[in-house]
A and B are shown apart, each in its own frame.
Chain A
Amino acid sequence: MANMNMIQALNSAMDVMLGRDPSVVLMGEDIGYFGGVFRATEGLQRKYGEHRVIDSPIAEGGIVATALGMSVNGLRPVAEIQFADYIYPGFDQIVSELARIRYRSAGDFFAPVTIRTPCGGGIRGGQTHSQSPESIFTHVSGIKVVMPSNPFDAKGLLITCIEDDDPVVFFEPKRLYNGPFDGDPNKPAVPWSTHSKGQVDEGYFKVPLGKADIVRAGAAVTIITYGTMVHVSVAAAAALNMDAEIIDIRSLVPLDVDTICTSVKKTGRCVVAHEATRFSGFGAEILSTVQEECFWALEAPIQRVTGWDTPYPHAFEWEYFPGQARVKAALKAVMEPA
């Protein structure tokens, strides 16, 4: 075991897979010689060569399409889209092609492509470097969607995704790259070395898809969340001294409905929290499922904590970000419905 931040854990996952499987290749903008704008691929081109860690043109549509073509020819490409905000030029190749190859060819062709992409705000990125577009992808049949919240999961999930025979969009909450972030930008940054999930096995290991993680067991209320909001939720519940059960779903597709519903049936109260915008957000899917499955166990209306339905504004980042205040308000509302 070693102390790793999330960047190091992701780097380690790719290092392990490049070493284990000659069909694994990396591709993306600035990822090779330079090592990536967030340093996630640092040193890998030097170690594995320019034919396996490939610098690409600035063309996300071309990156996704050629990764698909490579995967049909027996490779396992891991494509980096530099920011999730830049993924849209590749959207057609993801939605109409990557997600459909297996289906339309009745399983004769498949496309084991992993698309890594940093998402989320809190780094002064403005409206083009802060988006959380996960629900745009969860709405598409045939693509898996994953978002880790810590270094251990990031590595184990990424290895699982690379070995998966289906395409995956792997979102990395970039505010968590260097440490767990509880939503308060005024506190000094906390490194991952202070967190148990900053201890990561240096070798090969997997974290399964479709299996949620109960971050904190509790009896009073269930908070269902993922990404950066896991840490904000933990802090908010602690500040209120509330016995919350906090579930990090980790993979949105496939979704671990059993863990979610077992918990809500136990606590009778539910808050869903994500950083992405509210309207048609992934929280609506979770909320709807909880309502269908757990209605008779619910003691109060389900609460949603999200970003506002606006673009991510540069000057009002912390008014936009769903910080502890918004989570606390939801927890109070779900405990004491009007």
Chain B
Amino acid sequence: MTKKSRLHLPRVPARPGEKPDFSYVQLSPAGAVPRPQVNTRARDMMPLSVELVRVLDDNGDAVGPWHPHLEASDLQVGLRHMLLTRTYDDRMQRMQRGGKISFYIRSLGEEAVSVAQGMALRPSDMLFPGYRNQGLQVVRGIPLVDLMCQLLSNTRDMCKGRQLPVMYHSRANNLFSISGNLATQFPQAVGWAMAAAIKGEDNLAATWMGEGSSAEADFHHALLFASVYQAPVILNVVNNQWAISTFQGYAGGEQRSFAARGPGYGMAGIRVDGNDFLAVYAVTQWAAERARTGGGPTLIELVTYRGAAHSTSDDPARYRAKDDAEHWPLGDPILRLKAHLIKIGEWSEARHQAMAAELEAQVAASWKEAVSFGTMTEGPRLDSDLMFEDVFKEMPQNLQRQQALMRKERNS
């Protein structure tokens, strides 16, 4: 028999009805991966992009060189932000199911990514989020009511009814407008960072996408420009294993880690346990210091698992093992940080229950306030005249005419 080439199709470890199998996820023990100096050359720390930086071990202890030694109060804030994110997600999911909002995307199981990274950056750093980064909005203190009004496309919607739910933005809080198209924010963040460097400011840009989106050309443009100009940017690939039904192997994750694209382009690449709050915080802090001291960009791959459906329009039971999430080897980010805080004597089950109840009440009260500004079906509505504004800074003649025609149509 002569050998022949044969089209290779990436293997999906467990389809519906099969036993979950995460043997493909390469793990490193907590504390095992060395922490290089922030000014180390990319080529001299290649293993960082294939090993897995972890701080929290299975006993809830924080170990090894990446331990960020945060104050207990900071950890409690992180836990609070993560739990608020999840509480908000759960409630908004229910509101979508109840027909109050048209669409929703949860970040279940990925809360540490946005919350720890958001906390590790400065308020003056510009964030270019994807659509599963609501934790960034929480960290930056965007009132839940504002987020909810965006979901409702109501009279207080920051987007004036122009965007699908979850495509938030906040200029005042340096949160860029979420596109809804995949990957486009990645090279934009690089451009923002290039401008910061041109102006000689020490702010950096950070951006997020899923591993599935890294297949897009924009991902590669971002890495190329970031590397060429050594832009102060942190490029985050959230590897949650699934892009709707497309397994990470189809984005090229089977042959090489996503973090390894970093050294491939001549920049630092770090693969980190995305469900380990402390590890995520530590690598982000490292990348931020590197960027601010002229060391250029870092690509961080955050290894996590998409605990929920892609969106409210998706049903993962049709393409992956139903109990997959329960077998995910890196656990749940909230439970892990909670266990650590209890272990170091800074938290308790009772305090956790009390906080959960408080956050539930906060979310419920915010929703009540948000719907007072209108929903898709009841209460006040945005004026449809707004449709014609902000296409350009000044409304051109053709839009003025169409606006008048629409008014006439509306009133007929």
Which of B162, B205, B218, B397 lies in contact with A65, CB distance below 8 A? B218
> Does A75 lie at the interface of the complex (its beta carbon under 8 Å from any beta carbon of B)?
yes
CB proximity of B16 to chain A, nearest CB, Å: 34
Q: Are A61 and B218 in contact (CB under 8 A)?
A: yes
> Does A210 lie at the interface of the complex (its beta carbon under 8 Å from any beta carbon of B)?
yes
Q: How far is the CA of A247 from the CA of B198 in the complex (A)?
A: 42
Interface residues of B in 377-400 (CB under 8 A from A): 389-393, 396-398
Q: How far is the CA of A74 from the CA of B171 in the complex (A)?
A: 13
> Does A207 lie at the interface of the complex (its beta carbon under 8 Å from any beta carbon of B)?
no
Q: Are A92 and B198 in contact (CB under 8 A)?
A: no
> Does A38 lie at the interface of the complex (its beta carbon under 8 Å from any beta carbon of B)?
no
Which of B159, B194, B225, B391 lies in contact with A57, CB distance below 8 A? B225
Q: Are B184 and A105 in contact (CB under 8 A)?
A: no
> Does A255 lie at the interface of the complex (its beta carbon under 8 Å from any beta carbon of B)?
yes
Interface centre among A59, A103, A210 (most CB of B within 10 A): A103
Q: Are A96 and B176 in contact (CB under 8 A)?
A: no
> Does B354 lie at the interface of the complex (its beta carbon under 8 Å from any beta carbon of A)?
no
Closest to A55 in B: B228
Q: How far is the CA of A134 from the CA of B262 in the complex (A)?
A: 37
Q: Are B198 and A51 in contact (CB under 8 A)?
A: yes
Q: Are A62 and B393 in contact (CB under 8 A)?
A: no
Q: Are A142 and B162 in contact (CB under 8 A)?
A: no
State whether A109 and B191 are in contact (beta carbons under 8 Å apart), knowing that A25-B198, A57-B224, A142-B392 are contacts in the complex. Answer: no
Q: Which residues of the partner chain B approach A69 to less than 8 Å between Cβ atoms?
A: 128, 187-195, 205
CB proximity of A25 to chain B, nearest CB, Å: 7
State whether A166 and B188 are in contact (beta carbons under 8 Å apart), knowing that A89-B217, A96-B181, A105-B171 are contacts in the complex. Answer: no
Which of B169, B188, B222, B389 lies in contact with A68, CB distance below 8 A? B188
> Does A184 lie at the interface of the complex (its beta carbon under 8 Å from any beta carbon of B)?
no
Q: Are B193 and A106 in contact (CB under 8 A)?
A: no
CB proximity of B157 to chain A, nearest CB, Å: 8
> Does B199 lie at the interface of the complex (its beta carbon under 8 Å from any beta carbon of A)?
yes
State whether A57 and B228 are in contact (beta carbons under 8 Å apart), knowing that A73-B195, A104-B177 are contacts in the complex. Answer: yes
Q: Which residues of the partner chain A approach B170 to less than 8 Å between Cβ atoms?
A: 108
CB proximity of B155 to chain A, nearest CB, Å: 12
Q: Are A75 and B177 in contact (CB under 8 A)?
A: no
Interface string of A159-179 (1 = CB under 8 A from B): 000001110000000000000
State whether A257 and B393 are in contact (beta carbons under 8 Å apart), knowing that A96-B179, A97-B188, A104-B163 are contacts in the complex. Answer: no
Q: Which residues of the partner chain A approach B190 to less than 8 Å between Cβ atoms?
A: 65-66, 69
Which of A89, A107, A144 lies in contact with B390, CB distance below 8 A? A107
> Does A200 lie at the interface of the complex (its beta carbon under 8 Å from any beta carbon of B)?
no
Q: Which residues of the partner chain A approach B171 to less than 8 Å between Cβ atoms?
A: 105, 108-109
State whether A59 and B195 are in contact (beta carbons under 8 Å apart), knowing that A103-B162, A107-B390, A108-B169 are contacts in the complex. Answer: no
Q: How far is the CA of A75 from the CA of B221 in the complex (A)?
A: 20
State whether A103 and B396 are in contact (beta carbons under 8 Å apart), knowing that A62-B224, A96-B181 are contacts in the complex. Answer: no
> Does A72 lie at the interface of the complex (its beta carbon under 8 Å from any beta carbon of B)?
yes
> Does A93 lie at the interface of the complex (its beta carbon under 8 Å from any beta carbon of B)?
yes
Which of B167, B228, B389, B397 lies in contact with A107, CB distance below 8 A? B389
Q: Which residues of the partner chain B approach A75 to less than 8 Å between Cβ atoms?
A: 195, 198-199
> Does A84 lie at the interface of the complex (its beta carbon under 8 Å from any beta carbon of B)?
no
CB proximity of B181 to chain A, nearest CB, Å: 5
Q: Are B393 and A110 in contact (CB under 8 A)?
A: yes
Closest to B168 in A: A105
CB proximity of B402 to chain A, nearest CB, Å: 11
State whether A72 and B184 are in contact (beta carbons under 8 Å apart), knowing that A57-B228, A106-B160 are contacts in the complex. Answer: no
Say which size band chain A's interface belongs to.
35 or more
Which of B194, B222, B391 lies in contact with A70, CB distance below 8 A? B194
Q: Are A74 and B199 in contact (CB under 8 A)?
A: yes
Q: Are B181 and A92 in contact (CB under 8 A)?
A: yes
Q: How far is the CA of A56 from the CA of B176 in the complex (A)?
A: 24
CB proximity of B52 to chain A, nearest CB, Å: 30
> Does B243 lie at the interface of the complex (its beta carbon under 8 Å from any beta carbon of A)?
no
Q: Are B184 and A65 in contact (CB under 8 A)?
A: yes
> Does B279 lie at the interface of the complex (its beta carbon under 8 Å from any beta carbon of A)?
no
Q: Are B177 and A109 in contact (CB under 8 A)?
A: yes
Q: How far is the CA of A254 from the CA of B393 in the complex (A)?
A: 12
Interface residues of B in 184-216 (CB under 8 A from A): 184, 186-196, 198-199, 205
Q: Are A210 and B192 in contact (CB under 8 A)?
A: no
State whether A61 and B221 are in contact (beta carbons under 8 Å apart), knowing that A107-B389, A165-B393 are contacts in the complex. Answer: yes
Q: Are B391 and A102 in contact (CB under 8 A)?
A: yes
State whether A104 and B391 are in contact (beta carbons under 8 Å apart), knowing that A57-B225, A66-B225, A96-B179 are contacts in the complex. Answer: no
CB proximity of B198 to chain A, nearest CB, Å: 5
Interface centre among B126, B193, B199, B390 (most CB of A within 10 A): B390
State whether A65 and B188 are in contact (beta carbons under 8 Å apart), knowing that A74-B199, A97-B179 are contacts in the complex. Answer: yes
Closest to B170 in A: A108
Which of B167, B192, B196 lies in contact with A104, CB distance below 8 A? B167
Q: Which residues of the partner chain B approach A254 to less than 8 Å between Cβ atoms?
A: 392, 396-398
Q: Which residues of the partner chain A approach B392 to less than 8 Å between Cβ atoms?
A: 102, 142, 144, 166, 254
Q: Which residues of the partner chain A approach B397 to less than 8 Å between Cβ atoms?
A: 210, 254, 257
> Does A101 lie at the interface of the complex (its beta carbon under 8 Å from any beta carbon of B)?
yes
Q: Are A70 and B195 in contact (CB under 8 A)?
A: yes
Interface centre among A25, A56, A93, A106 (most CB of B within 10 A): A106
Closest to B169 in A: A105
Q: Which residues of the partner chain B approach A257 to less than 8 Å between Cβ atoms?
A: 397-398
Interface string of B136-177 (1 = CB under 8 A from A): 000000000000000000000011101100010111000011
Closest to A143 in B: B392
Q: Which residues of the partner chain B approach A280 to less than 8 Å between Cβ atoms?
A: none
Which of A62, A73, A108 lies in contact with B187, CB distance below 8 A? A62
Q: Which 9 pairs between the two chains have the least Cβ-Cβ distance?
A: A69-B191, A66-B191, A62-B221, A65-B187, A73-B195, A69-B188, A69-B192, A70-B195, A105-B177
Given contacts A105-B390, A108-B177, A165-B393, 4 further A-B contacts (CB under 8 A): A73-B126, A92-B181, A97-B181, A109-B177
Residues of chain B whose beta carbon lies under 8 Å from any beta carbon of chain A: 126, 128, 158-160, 162-163, 167, 169-171, 176-177, 179, 181, 184, 186-196, 198-199, 205, 217-218, 221-222, 224-225, 228, 389-393, 396-398
Task: Give me 18 A-to-B residue pairs in the complex whose CB atoms sit less than 8 angstroms apart, sorted by A's number.
Answer: A56-B225, A57-B224, A59-B225, A61-B187, A65-B221, A65-B222, A69-B193, A72-B191, A73-B126, A73-B196, A73-B199, A74-B195, A93-B218, A103-B391, A104-B163, A105-B390, A108-B169, A141-B391
